[in-house]
Structure 1
Amino acid sequence: MGCVSKEEILDKITSYDIFNYYLQPYHNSSNLLAAKNISNPFLAEKQETPSFNIFPSMTSNEWRYKDFATGDDGSCFDLTMKLFNLSFPETLEKINSDFTLMLDAENKPIKSVEQIKQVPPKYVAKQRPFTEAELSFWLKYGIDAETLKRFNVSSLEEFSSTSNTGNPYTLKSSPNKFIFAYENDNWIKLYKPLDEKKYKFQYLGTKEPGYIFGWKQLPEKGEKLIVTGGEKDVMSLSAKGFNAITLNSETATLDKKIVNELKLRFNQIIVLYDNDETGLKQSNILAITHGLHRLLLPTLQNNGKDISDYFANGETIKGFNDLLLTAFQTPAPVELYIDKSVYNAVELLARGEVEQKYLMEPIFPQKGSAVLAGKPDTGKSQFARQLCIQVALGEKTFLDFELHPLHNRSIYVATEDNEDATRFLINKQFQGLDKDPTQNLRFIFADTMNQEEIIKNLNEQLTLESVDLVVIDSFGDIFQGNDSNNNIAMRNTVKTFDKIGKEHNCLILFVHHINKAAYRVAPGQEHIQGGAGLVQKVRLAIVLSEGAGNTRYFTVVKGNYCPKMYKENSLELHFSEETFLFTNTGIMIPTSELGTQPDTFKKEEKINEIENIAKNVFQDKIYVHKDYLRRYCDVTGKGPADANRKLKIFKDTGIIVECQGGYRLDLPNNNEVINSIENNEDNNGIDF
């Protein structure tokens, strides 16, 4: 009987999944971003300057960790072994168990339902009936046994779990230390009211994101709703006939959609948080954000700070109703709107989460504007269309990066491809993804529209239904201006569409071109047509470039909130000419190694060839045009048309000059000829 293998585990989950799961206690976000420094989990004390991070390795195609201060580095398995003091086989078994991979000792999936049931849970909580002392504790806040039952609150005799260092432990209640549990489907929140403040609350299991305590107990319609600061406060209010809810914490934000729903269900909504520094600050932010009334409690006896303390101090329902009446008579703040341009600091923080939001983490922002540029035939349009399709399908990832769409909808504005071409292209891509077409992807065919007409159509569609992504293919067709090198005209065009993205909370992605002179060099933002005026205004700029065969390189040349590693390295992609789909090979290449610099040696050979032709034709003589034609044809054996083409090259490169009504040799410095040749290639398309 062999043990579970590393390969079998990585066939089911990624190395990133393992890192993110076991490092969860050490970072304060749902997903740990690449190159984001956190405190080293192996150290007893937190680092003053966090220097521990994870990153995808370009050589092994797996994620690794590195601490540049201590030198610690290794794989996800090294981290798990060190974090929990396990052997390698024990580490594999732990990952197998913690992720419920159902791999038995012979690396075969466990298919039996009974076997699945035998997988040990991540925690065990042993309930017991409430003791008299426990019921007395709740009753002083007006919370009776019926209220506890209605809100799924239980008393625990003990619970068992595993510490952050991997050691199992069990905690038992005692007459002096109650343990209560707010129970949910797959997780519980522990409340230990008689413990020190930092140990009072604890989560077991996987906490549901955005959970709102008291939501299930709300009536369909009601007169008043109180948004308060804790589970105990909700139950204290509910026991006295008030509708109340609380967020995960006082520092959590309330989603706009939820507020809109609550405003339809309740005539009046008021925020009532703790009467301390945090509560006062956060209730002000919440009230300003959503235009809600706010109630501040008076100073309470016995160091009381919340509504449950208010009632525990003997205050009456009538007294509380008087406070509510006064609060509702005070006008609520005006709700913050998107077109407001001046904020104080409190209002600015009230605008929402302080963490950067992504459509595709950690590269594409959730809203604003971005540009995807490249030379012709690199697949820019197919790439942008694939992103639109996968967002609209509600896919969880794109190119192995996590997607976070809010609506699972997208719009593709086609200014070049018509309906027939687009129908052919998306059919190939949907077939390649093995998915059926979805109504969540809409197309605006704008090949005959001007910018104003495109904006009008786009705003109508975005008002009709919110989307996550709008692709404009291509930028050149919506640019208003005579000169693409005019920075002001470029910025104004981007600004017009950037405003649409911000107003409708979506990302506008422009498909664009790079300069011809940049076809053979490493990707850089300076190579995108329109230069600084365009790149400075967008939040993200990407260049898609060609490699050998069907290889493409995805390079972030500007990313305001993109990790540095994705700016210094390019993602290697494979493009399928059969399905028009891109896939991530998992390889990253230093961007500086991409492209080939202009081959000066070959250009010098070309120069020498041109000079030799001119020398053989002109020698030391002066020829008028008709004599030149005859002479050129005699020397080269080619016709007059070729003679005229070469004459233009001779003149443009300065190899010959006009003299006495004709032409003669005047060979310049080779560098001048090189520059002349490059200008001819880029502007005239002359084939030497």
Structure 2
Amino acid sequence: MIDKEDILERTGRGLAVFKHYINFPVRPGKNFRNPLYEDRIASCNIYYDRHAQVFKMKDFGNNEYSGDCFWFVGMLYGLDVKRDFVAIINRIVSDLNITIVHTGNNDMPARKKAVEKRIIMNENDNPIRKDYHTEVKPFSVAELAYWQQYGIKPDTLERYNVHSLKSFEGYNRSNKIYKISSSATEPMFAYMGIGFTKVYRPRNQNMRFFYGGEMPEVYCFGLEQLPNKGDMVFITGGEKDVMSLASKGFNAVCFNSETAAIPTSLIEMFDRKFRHIVFLYDMDDTGRNESARRMDELSSFHVLRMELPISGAKGDKDISDYF
């Protein structure tokens, strides 16, 4: 497993991490405007902390926006550098494509393996296997047509790491292996993350969504595709809605469901990066009620709520249906 020191060694003590995420040229000692908020004065720079032996960012106009590369990535993605440090490391590893070669039989980077292995413990300390295997295949013409009806093209599917699955193998609660295969009448798609996969079967009403691996504490689809700055970001109901909005040039994210709790740290991050935060949930009863609830919960922020001029009935309730 790659740890903090591995990343520092491979990024010039963190300098390459700053350069990767800051979307303009930076060099140590030269002042620039802080990319984390609308900074009007260039009073921020990167310097080498000899005591800690890492590069850090210092904002002389606002000391709250100062820290090392791990803190910086946490700020970008709404992660707490103490509580979410593993998630921050995983994000850097993924975004910078960092690998480490181990000796012995386990020399393949974990994210390159066909089978992702996770073991967690339940309340009785009995291990529940989280191993799973996905077999990816090319999108069929019919599958691409399914996405195209929502304006979602192959380049958008690739950008959001969405794949067509031939099969999925996993373990049930009794630790017995099961396998699900796709077919022409029942396609299967995968939203792939680091160490987990969310499977979507649009034509299966009994088990439309299921998961492989260990889902993150906060699942936020579309987060890594957001720009550092923008005019507006939509918080919408599902992955299909995120990509449908993206195909029209809008910034959007979704959580695991409309009823999922939204961390205040993420809203704070959106508030720094975007002028407007707009809730755009489904027009059924759940969507309307939950978006109204979010407005009450987050009234201290500049959040807005938009309702679509559609019926709210099945097939006519969300932004992808609207488009």
Task: State whether TM-score is above 0.5.
Answer: yes
Q: Name the counterpart of 2:223.
A: 215
Q: Name the counterpart of 2:28.
A: none
Q: Name the counterpart of 2:134.
A: 125
Is the 8 Å Cα contact of residues 116 and 213 (structure 2) preserved in structure 1?
no
**Residue 305 of structure 1 pairs with residue 314 of structure 2:** no
Partners in 1 of 2:141 and 2:106 — Cα distance?
41
Is the 8 Å Cα contact of residues 232 and 276 (structure 2) preserved in structure 1?
yes
Pick the aligned partner of 1:246 from 228, 231, 254.
254
TM-score (norm 1): 0.28
- Higher alpha-carbon Rg: 1
How far did residue 293 of structure 1 move? 0.9
Partners in 2 of 1:171 and 1:265 — Cα distance?
41
Q: Percent identity?
A: 39
**Residue 155 of structure 1 pairs with residue 164 of structure 2:** yes
Structure 1 runs (4+) deviating above 3 angstroms are 115-121, 300-303
Which has more helix, going by share of residues? Answer: 1
> What per-residue deviation string (whole Å, max 9, x for no partner) do you get for residues 66-120 of structure 1?
xxxxxxxxxxxxxxxxxxxxxxxxxxxxxxxxxxxxxxxxxxxxx9730587998
Q: Name the counterpart of 1:271.
A: 279
> What per-residue deviation string (whole Å, max 9, x for no partner) do you get for residues 391-427 of structure 1?
xxxxxxxxxxxxxxxxxxxxxxxxxxxxxxxxxxxxx
How far did residue 308 of structure 1 move? 0.3
| Amino acid corresponding to residue 203 of structure 2 in structure 1 | L
How far did residue 208 of structure 1 move? 0.8
| Amino acid corresponding to residue 253 of structure 1 in structure 2 | A
Q: What is the count of residue pairs matched by the alignment?
A: 200
Q: Name the counterpart of 1:169.
A: 178
Q: Name the counterpart of 2:23.
A: none
How far did residue 235 of structure 1 move? 0.2
> What per-residue deviation string (whole Å, max 9, x for no partner) do you get for residues 418-477 of structure 1?
xxxxxxxxxxxxxxxxxxxxxxxxxxxxxxxxxxxxxxxxxxxxxxxxxxxxxxxxxxxx
**Structure with more relative contact order (C-alpha pairs < 8 Å, separation 6 or more):** 2
**Residue 195 of structure 1 pairs with residue 186 of structure 2:** no
Is the 8 Å Cα contact of residues 144 and 154 (structure 2) preserved in structure 1?
yes
Partners in 1 of 2:209 and 2:263 — Cα distance?
24
Is the 8 Å Cα contact of residues 126 and 158 (structure 1) preserved in structure 2?
yes
How far did residue 259 of structure 1 move? 1.0
Cα pair distance change 1:252/1:120, threshold 3 Å: closer
SS in structure 1 of the partner of residue 174 of structure 2:
coil
Partners in 1 of 2:198 and 2:185 — Cα distance?
20
SS in structure 2 of the partner of residue 194 of structure 1:
coil
Is the 8 Å Cα contact of residues 253 and 286 (structure 1) preserved in structure 2?
no
| Structure 1 segment 103-502 matched on structure 2, within 5 A | 113-114=104-105, 121=117, 122-196=131-205, 198-291=206-299, 292-300=303-311, 303-311=315-323
Partners in 1 of 2:116 and 2:229 — Cα distance?
42
| Structure 1 segment 450-599 matched on structure 2, within 5 A | none
> What per-residue deviation string (whole Å, max 9, x for no partner) do you get for residues 186-230 of structure 1?
00000000101x401011000011121111011111111111010
| Amino acid corresponding to residue 279 of structure 1 in structure 2 | G
SS in structure 1 of the partner of residue 225 of structure 2:
coil
> What per-residue deviation string (whole Å, max 9, x for no partner) do you get for residues 352-372 of structure 1?
xxxxxxxxxxxxxxxxxxxxx
Cα pair distance change 1:302/1:251, threshold 3 Å: closer
Cα pair distance change 1:281/1:177, threshold 3 Å: same
Q: Name the counterpart of 1:638.
A: none
Is the 8 Å Cα contact of residues 275 and 297 (structure 1) preserved in structure 2?
yes
How far did residue 299 of structure 1 move? 2.6
SS in structure 2 of the partner of residue 188 of structure 1:
strand
Partners in 2 of 1:152 and 1:115 — Cα distance?
25
Cα pair distance change 1:258/1:133, threshold 3 Å: same
> What per-residue deviation string (whole Å, max 9, x for no partner) do you get for residues 649-684 of structure 1?
xxxxxxxxxxxxxxxxxxxxxxxxxxxxxxxxxxxx
Partners in 1 of 2:295 and 2:279 — Cα distance?
7
> What per-residue deviation string (whole Å, max 9, x for no partner) do you get for residues 469-522 of structure 1?
xxxxxxxxxxxxxxxxxxxxxxxxxxxxxxxxxxxxxxxxxxxxxxxxxxxxxx
| Amino acid corresponding to residue 158 of structure 1 in structure 2 | S
TM-score (norm 2): 0.59
Partners in 2 of 1:288 and 1:142 — Cα distance?
32
Is the 8 Å Cα contact of residues 275 and 306 (structure 1) preserved in structure 2?
yes
> What per-residue deviation string (whole Å, max 9, x for no partner) do you get for residues 126-151 of structure 1?
00110000000000000000000000
> What per-residue deviation string (whole Å, max 9, x for no partner) do you get for residues 591-610 of structure 1?
xxxxxxxxxxxxxxxxxxxx
| Amino acid corresponding to residue 223 of structure 2 in structure 1 | W
SS in structure 2 of the partner of residue 309 of structure 1:
helix
SS in structure 1 of the partner of residue 222 of structure 2:
coil
Cα pair distance change 1:247/1:115, threshold 3 Å: closer
SS in structure 1 of the partner of residue 198 of structure 2:
strand
How far did residue 166 of structure 1 move? 2.0
SS in structure 2 of the partner of residue 199 of structure 1:
coil
SS in structure 2 of the partner of residue 114 of structure 1:
coil
Is the 8 Å Cα contact of residues 125 and 159 (structure 1) preserved in structure 2?
yes
Cα pair distance change 1:116/1:162, threshold 3 Å: farther
| Amino acid corresponding to residue 153 of structure 1 in structure 2 | V
SS in structure 2 of the partner of residue 216 of structure 1:
helix
SS in structure 1 of the partner of residue 135 of structure 2:
strand
Q: Name the counterpart of 2:127.
A: none
Is the 8 Å Cα contact of residues 127 and 154 (structure 1) preserved in structure 2?
yes
How far did residue 185 of structure 1 move? 1.1
Cα pair distance change 1:204/1:274, threshold 3 Å: same
| Amino acid corresponding to residue 268 of structure 2 in structure 1 | N
How far did residue 303 of structure 1 move? 3.8
Partners in 2 of 1:179 and 1:153 — Cα distance?
11
SS in structure 2 of the partner of residue 204 of structure 1:
strand
| Amino acid corresponding to residue 181 of structure 1 in structure 2 | A
How far did residue 254 of structure 1 move? 1.6
